[in-house]
Chain A
Amino acid sequence: MTRFNSLKATAARHAPAIAAAATVIFYAGQVLAQAAAPTPPAPPAPPPKLDSGDTAWMLTSTALVLLMTIPGLALFYGGMVRKKNVLSVLMQCFAITCLVTVLWMIAAYSLAFNGDGAYIGNLAKAFLKGIGKDTLNGTIPETVFMCFQMTFAIITPALIVGAFADRMKFSAMLWFMGLWLLLVYAPIAHWVWGGGFLMKAGVLDFAGGTVVHINAGVAGLVCALVLGKRIGLGSENFAPHNLVLTVIGASLLWVGWFGFNAGSAVASNGSAGMAMAVTQIATAAAALTWMFVEWALRGKPSALGIASGAVAGLVAITPASGFVGPTGSLAIGIAAGIGCYWGATWLKRTCGYDDSLDAFGVHAVGGIIGALLTGVFAVKAIGGTAGVLEGNGHQLITQGYGVLCTIVYDAIATFIILKVIDVIIGLRVDADTEREGLDINLHGETVP
């Protein structure tokens, strides 16, 4: 939605310049025509024009978002598992990056971003057919747009890793991620960003609150439920083996997120600037909130807590980043800090599922908070749509509709994919492998 709006906005921004240039050309043509020939030539229609500023920022953003998965998310998750499984987590994130890249090129990009279907795109751009050096998407090369979107398609499945860490077969993981990309991510990205029914319904999702975070978080919950609890949960020591890795990972995620949110303007403009500002504010507010809540309830402000809070804030501001102002982002950050702390602690304990690294508790809960609060705090002057606070109560309902559609389809489709894989090759490693560790058993390597 936003991405298309921003393209329109970019075109509108250039319109006066284009019109002025066309006028100059027209009059120059008339002068020349009067001098040389009796009939003046018609002024040419301005072709879509590449903007080097936009292109430079989107090349940078693409690299920043890739940095979020490898090494950012890989380290964030890797530090939180026990030492015997750290390589398995790094390996999963790295392999997903490679697998999604290839599938994105083959079919997923076309399914998500090409065609006018309400539910899914088409395969006209399979194998990136027809995309050349000079093909544009708005003001940037389509190659850049395709790569930028690819990095989102990479991090979304990688986020799910947090839910089934320590116990999934590597082969089953690859099958699951490939099928999930094509059957869940590509359609939902099409619904919200590619011209599908949620985009037409007016659902606001600037950078992926529904498409990325709710999607990954809910799929993670389904994975945790289908795979079952890890052996020894509740009786053995599951403490993170190296929180230095986790804090480095969270920091890289934070830095990379400027590409994620400000890059989702698909332009180097004021919208990108506001997205950057609100991203920073919400993240800091959520990190402080989680820290203070934990300090109050558990007695100590922890490094894992402040890092988790930062990620919660980043998640929650994601859908809102092109639509809300600084005050709204502060409120969203505080809500995310409280909500995600609740999601990762009370909610998980009470419901009893084993979401190893809180993919659901942070990403789905944070994504839902962000998606709904976008409808509350949206400012018409910033993103073109008013929220509840500006008198547009309906936007909250629209946001809820987007959240609900994503959750329902995602949960059902993920469940089916998992069950099919379970029947054919099995999802879970055997008990001995799980006890001894995935690193040595699945990958033949260990970290001393």
Chain B
Amino acid sequence: MKLVMAIIKPHKLDEVRTALVGLGVQGLTVTEAQGFGRQKGHREIYRGAEYEISFLPKTRIEVAVSDSMVGQVVDAIRTSAATGQIGDGKIFVLTIEKAVRIRTGETDDDAL
């Protein structure tokens, strides 16, 4: 089991969701996040005063999948979240030690 975590541009969320549902992914967790990478921040001007906004709004998605699906899921996110511009985000894949479905008590792949 793997946890695929991706930091994406907020306006790409719906495309990513559609792509993942198309692969049969059963669930997805979304968090509003802030951060910076190579894109750095941006500048905003209020009444002539310029402010460096260091942290940009991003969306973090987390999806738990069986080992066999990891490759497809990562590809789907990469394709659907890409704009080609700097700041498209990152995908991380982590190993899951154990998973439990709270309602039924099912574990591991059955719980995904």
Q: Hey, which bits of chain A sit against chain B, CB under 8 A?
A: 80, 237-240, 294, 298, 300, 302, 304-305, 308, 341, 344-346, 349, 358
> Is B54 among interface residues, defined by CB-CB distance under 8 A?
yes
Complex Cα gap A379–B52 (Å): 49
Check B47 against A237 for contact (C-beta < 8 Å).
Answer: no
Check A358 against B47 for contact (C-beta < 8 Å).
Answer: yes
Chain A residues whose CB sits within 8 angstroms of the CB of B52 once the complex forms:
237
What are 23 A-B contacts defined by CB distance under 8 Å?
A237-B51, A237-B53, A237-B54, A238-B49, A238-B51, A239-B44, A239-B46, A239-B51, A239-B53, A240-B46, A294-B48, A298-B45, A298-B48, A300-B45, A302-B45, A302-B46, A304-B46, A305-B47, A344-B47, A344-B48, A345-B49, A349-B48, A349-B49
Q: Hey, which bits of chain B sit against chain A, CB under 8 A?
A: 44-49, 51-54
Complex Cα gap A80–B53 (Å): 16
Chain B residues whose CB sits within 8 angstroms of the CB of A239 once the complex forms:
44, 46, 51, 53
Chain A residues whose CB sits within 8 angstroms of the CB of B48 once the complex forms:
294, 298, 341, 344-346, 349
Complex Cα gap A72–B89 (Å): 41
Which residue of chain A is the closest to B49 with respect to CB atoms? A238
Min distance, Cβ A332 to any Cβ of chain B, angstroms:
21
Chain A residues whose CB sits within 8 angstroms of the CB of B53 once the complex forms:
237, 239
Complex Cα gap A294–B48 (Å): 8
Q: A237-B51, A346-B48 are in contact. List 10 more A-B contacts (CB 8 A).
A: A238-B51, A239-B46, A239-B51, A239-B53, A240-B46, A304-B47, A305-B47, A344-B47, A349-B48, A349-B49
Min distance, Cβ A221 to any Cβ of chain B, angstroms:
16
Which residue of chain A is the closest to B55 with respect to CB atoms? A237
Complex Cα gap A240–B51 (Å): 10
Min distance, Cβ B46 to any Cβ of chain A, angstroms:
6
Which residue of chain B is the closest to A233 with respect to CB atoms? B49
Complex Cα gap A302–B51 (Å): 15
Complex Cα gap A347–B48 (Å): 11
Which residue of chain B is the closest to A305 with respect to CB atoms? B47
Chain B residues whose CB sits within 8 angstroms of the CB of A240 once the complex forms:
46
Complex Cα gap A270–B73 (Å): 73
Which residue of chain B is the closest to A344 with respect to CB atoms? B47
Complex Cα gap A349–B47 (Å): 11
Among B44, B49, B54, max chain A CB count under 10 A is at: B49
Complex Cα gap A298–B48 (Å): 8
Chain B residues whose CB sits within 8 angstroms of the CB of A358 once the complex forms:
47
Which residue of chain A is the closest to B44 with respect to CB atoms? A239
Among B47, B49, B51, B53, max chain A CB count under 10 A is at: B47
Complex Cα gap A341–B45 (Å): 13
Chain B residues whose CB sits within 8 angstroms of the CB of A80 once the complex forms:
46
Chain A residues whose CB sits within 8 angstroms of the CB of B51 once the complex forms:
237-239
Min distance, Cβ A415 to any Cβ of chain B, angstroms:
26
Complex Cα gap A298–B44 (Å): 11
Among A239, A298, A304, A358, max chain B CB count under 10 A is at: A239
Min distance, Cβ B32 to any Cβ of chain A, angstroms:
14
Chain A residues whose CB sits within 8 angstroms of the CB of B46 once the complex forms:
80, 239-240, 302, 304
Complex Cα gap A302–B49 (Å): 13
Min distance, Cβ B12 to any Cβ of chain A, angstroms:
24
Chain B residues whose CB sits within 8 angstroms of the CB of A346 once the complex forms:
48
Complex Cα gap A239–B45 (Å): 8
Which residue of chain A is the closest to B45 with respect to CB atoms? A298
Which residue of chain B is the closest to A239 with respect to CB atoms? B51
Check A308 against B54 for contact (C-beta < 8 Å).
Answer: no
Complex Cα gap A94–B44 (Å): 31
Min distance, Cβ A255 to any Cβ of chain B, angstroms:
23
Complex Cα gap A308–B45 (Å): 14
Chain A residues whose CB sits within 8 angstroms of the CB of B44 once the complex forms:
239
Complex Cα gap A179–B31 (Å): 50
Chain A residues whose CB sits within 8 angstroms of the CB of B47 once the complex forms:
304-305, 308, 344-345, 358
Min distance, Cβ B53 to any Cβ of chain A, angstroms:
6
Complex Cα gap A341–B49 (Å): 12
Complex Cα gap A238–B47 (Å): 12
Q: Give me the 3 closest cross-chain CB pairs, A-B, nearest first.
A: A345-B48, A239-B51, A237-B51
Chain A residues whose CB sits within 8 angstroms of the CB of B49 once the complex forms:
238, 345, 349
Complex Cα gap A298–B49 (Å): 10
Min distance, Cβ B51 to any Cβ of chain A, angstroms:
5
Min distance, Cβ A425 to any Cβ of chain B, angstroms:
31
Chain B residues whose CB sits within 8 angstroms of the CB of A237 once the complex forms:
51-54
Complex Cα gap A128–B99 (Å): 76
Complex Cα gap A297–B69 (Å): 53
Complex Cα gap A345–B47 (Å): 6
Complex Cα gap A349–B48 (Å): 9
Complex Cα gap A228–B54 (Å): 26
Which residue of chain B is the closest to A345 with respect to CB atoms? B48
Which residue of chain B is the closest to A237 with respect to CB atoms? B51
Min distance, Cβ B7 to any Cβ of chain A, angstroms:
21
Which residue of chain B is the closest to A357 with respect to CB atoms? B47
Which residue of chain A is the closest to B41 with respect to CB atoms? A237
Chain B residues whose CB sits within 8 angstroms of the CB of A298 once the complex forms:
45, 48
Min distance, Cβ A95 to any Cβ of chain B, angstroms:
26
Complex Cα gap A237–B46 (Å): 11
